[in-house]
Amino acid sequence: MSELLQFVFSGVTVGAVYALVALGFTIIYNASDVVNFSQGEFVMLGGMTTVFLHAAGLPLAAAAILAVVIAAAVGIALNKLAIEPARNASVVTLIIITIGASIFLRGVAQIVFDKQLHRFPSFSGDAPFVVAGATILPQSLWVVFGAAVVFLGLYGFFTRTLTGKAVLATANNRLAAKLVGVNTNFVMTLSFALSAAIGAVAGVLVTPITLTSYDIGITLALKGFAAAMLGGMGNPFGALVGGLAVGLIEAMTAGYISSSYKDAAAFIVILAVLFVMPNGMFGKTSVNRV
């Protein structure tokens, strides 16, 4: 029992990070139909910038906030300089552009920062809580709590504010949204900023647990992309479920079956789900226009 609970704690912590990355994919996809493979670099930027600002003497909280702002600015720049000029390009072309962006950002990070591993202190110490024989770190609670706040905040933003509704309208039908007066360019910029900020928040929350370095982005982007597809691309709720599912599958496989094939298990489940539900668990059924 305590064993199962330990696996769940592990799965939920890791899954919450995947969910945040998947959410970043989803927000940008909704606004622009772009799958942004540089999403993982935002997580890296969040963690690494915080590390270096903190080392430069800024208090941790200030460093973290500044890091999120910087990441959001990078997100906006990415949209303005690379995505907007390539509007209406094909899916593959846009994928290559964002992969190029991720290589570029990684290249910049290895010069501006360095190639070493880094971490900063946990927010509330490292003394684990013991629950029914299983242990969880305070920082894991921060991660889960942080993810929950982000999701609830976004839910409020999308359902309660005019700007949020404009984003949703654009996601549903860009042309229609444009016709009723939504500034879709602004929506796109906002989405990139938002999704970069969410990635950076994930980076800040998780660095005390997983450490960070200039090249952590690739793996996170892969897992986040897979989680987003599992949940159904374009659905924020799907991103949450997909992320947690991938995290839990990995933890359970590592715990009960084989640790060397835990990543494989996640992808086997994704393949199986997609065969039954070709649009993921909560994805929109796509309509083919002739």
Partner 1 sequence: MRSLKRKHITLLALVVLIAVAPLFFPSAFYYRVGTLMFINGLAVTGLVVLIGYAGQISLGHAGFSGIGAYACALGPLHLGLPPAASLVFGAVLSGGIAWLVGRPILRLKGHYLAVATLGFGILVSMVLTNEAHLTGGPDGMAVEDLGLRAALREIGISVRAPELWYWFSGLVLLAGAWLVLNLQDSPTGRALRSLHDSEIAARTVGVDVARYKLTAFVISAVYASVAGSLLAMMNRFVSPDIAGFLHSIQMVTMTVLGGAGTVLGAVTGASILTALPQVLTVFHDYEHIVLGLIMMLVMIFLREGLVPSLAKLFGRRER
Partner 2 sequence: MKLLDSFKATVAVLAVAAVSASGVPAVADIKIGASLSQTGPASFLGDPEAKTLQMLVDEINEKGGIKGEKVQLILYDDGGDPNNGRTFATRLVEDDEVVAVIGGTTTGTTMAMIPVFEEAEIPFISLAGAVVIVEPVKKWVFKTPHTDKMACGKIYGDMKARGLTKVGLISGSGGFETSMREQCLALAGEYGIEIVADESYGPKDADMTPQLTKIGNTAGLQAVLNPGFGQGPAIVTRNFKQLNLQVPLYQSHGVASKSFIELAGDAAEGVRLPAAALLVADKLDGSDPQKAVVVGYRDAYEKATGKPVSTFGGHAYDAFMILVEAIERAGSADPAAIRDEIENTKGFVGTAGVVNMSAEDHMGLDLSAFRMLEIRNGDWTIVD
Pick the binder of partner 1 from 58, 69, 99, 211 (CB under 8 A): 99
The yes or no reply on residue 280 touching partner 1 (CB under 8 A) is yes
Burial of 75 (0-12, 13-18, 19+ CB in 10 A): buried
Residue 255 binds which entry of partner 2, partner 1, none, with Cβ cut-offs from 5 to 8 Å by kind?
partner 2
Please list the residues that pair with 134 across neighbouring strands.
Answer: 131
User: x/- contact string, 225-254, with partner 2 (CB under 8 A)?
Assistant: --------------------------xx-x
Closest CA relative to residue 242, chosen from 271, 282, 272, 277: 282
* Contact pick of 76, 86, 119, 237 for partner 2 (by CB under 8 A): 119
Site residues for partner 2, window 79-118 (CB under 8 A)? 110, 114-118
Question: Which residues inside 13-72 make contact with partner 2, applying CB under 8 A?
Answer: 13-14, 17
Closest CA to 217 of 69, 4, 71, 6: 71
> Dihedral, CA atoms, 238, 243, 247, 248, nearest 10 degrees?
-20
Token digits of residue 8: 């769940």
Closer CB to partner 1, 2 or 286, in the complex: 286
In this chain, which of 48, 64, 109, 137 binds partner 2, going by CB under 8 A? Answer: 137
106 is a site residue for partner 1 (CB under 8 A) = yes
H helix runs in the chain, sequence order: 2-32, 39-55, 60-78, 91-112, 138-160, 162-172, 174-179, 184-210, 217-231, 236-252, 262-276
Is 219 among the residues that bind partner 2 (CB under 8 A)? Answer: yes
Could you tell me how far CA 283 lies from the centroid of its own chain? Answer: 17
- Let me know: does 126 contact 137? Beta carbons within 8 Å: yes
Q: What is the DSSP letter of 119?
A: -
Quote the distance between the C-alpha of residue 135 and its chain's center: 26
Q: Which does 286 bind (CB under 5 to 8 A by kind): partner 1, partner 2, none?
A: partner 1
In degrees rounded to 5, what are phi and psi of residue 87?
-55, 145
H/E element holding 130? Answer: strand 129-131
- What are the E-state strand segments in the chain? 129-131, 134-136
Please choose which of partner 1, partner 2, none residue 111 contacts, taking the beta carbon within 5 to 8 angstroms, the exact cut-off set by kind: partner 1
Considering the rule CB under 8 A, would residue 271 count as an interface residue with partner 1? yes
Q: Select from partner 2, partner 1, none the partner in contact with residue 211, using the beta carbon and a kind-dependent cut-off of 5 to 8 Å.
A: partner 2
Task: State phi, psi for 56 to the nearest 5 degrees.
Answer: -80, 0
Residues 178-197 that bind partner 2 (CB under 8 A): none
Residues lying near partner 1 in the complex (CB under 8 A) are found at 35, 82, 85-86, 89-93, 95-97, 99-108, 110-111, 218, 222, 225-226, 229, 233, 260-261, 263-264, 267-268, 270-271, 274-275, 278-280, 286, 288, 290
Residues lying near partner 2 in the complex (CB under 8 A) are found at 3, 6-7, 9-10, 13-14, 17, 110, 114-119, 126, 128, 135, 137, 206, 209-211, 213, 215-216, 218-220, 251-252, 254-255, 259-260, 262-263
